[in-house]
Amino acid sequence: MTAVWAQGLTRVFGEKRAVDGLDLDIQEGELYALLGVNGAGKTTAIRMLSCLLPPSGGRAEILGVDVVREPHRAKALIGISPQETAVGIHLTVRENLVFAAGLYGCRGREARDRAEEMISAFSLGEYADKRARILSGGTQRRLSLAMALISRPRVLFLDEPTLGLDVIARRELWREIEALKGKMTVILTTHYMEEAQALSHRVGIMAHGHLAAQGTAEELTTQAGAASFEDAFVTLAQEAGR
């Protein structure tokens, strides 16, 4: 079943077309990575697909639900961990998770049970009663991911989840993301070639607001006639700009 579908998805800011006719067809259970240089349109695309920003044109659906016509139904199917770590820095880890559960309609015992479930799943027990502001960047990112998953979404959007993390924290978060493969659909935006190559089933390369190429990392490397996936990305992104 198609989990995320877009046709001609467009977003215009003044005279700038941040996303320009984006077409996507991502299958249920797939981990799909969106790559692109700064300004390629990745975050704007994610914001439209996750009902945070209305499109200027085109259509998009989450598991067959139109994100413009039925945003409330679409939002119930998704979780999102934004580029900026979305945690309340003055709340404890447990309070953040209970709050996130409440946003999805969980109350009382159910919200507390969901919070404990995430604390266990993400090994956050030693931090459960600590305020988020004193946590390391990597632990804050794990908390942000746990908050995105607390509603048990069928589609998860991760917008540059490892941005700014050191190598060890990045690899730890990779393990958390890897464990989600096949359990839900994950759309991951990233600047890291190795991250996309290691985690994704398929990669889409965005350039100038549209999809320049897509396929497995190996397919894209062959398509570009490149020695490495990183070289392939550079070649395909540059070709899209000509």
Cα separation, 241 vs 39, in Å, equals 13
Q: Which of 80, 84, 48, 82 has its CA nearest to residue 66? A: 48
Angle of the 167-178 helix axis to the 137-149 helix axis, nearest 10:
20
* Residue 242 confidence (pLDDT): 56
Q: 10-residue block means of pLDDT along the chain (242 residues)?
A: 96 95 96 92 94 96 97 94 84 96 90 95 94 92 92 94 86 90 93 91 94 95 94 89 60
Report pTM.
0.91
Cα separation, 232 vs 4, in Å, equals 25
Q: Which domains are assigned to the chain?
A: 1-68+155-242 (3.40.50.300), 87-153 (no CATH)
Burial 83-116 (b: 16+ CB within 10 A, else e): bebebeeeeebbbbbbbbbbeeebeeeebeebbb
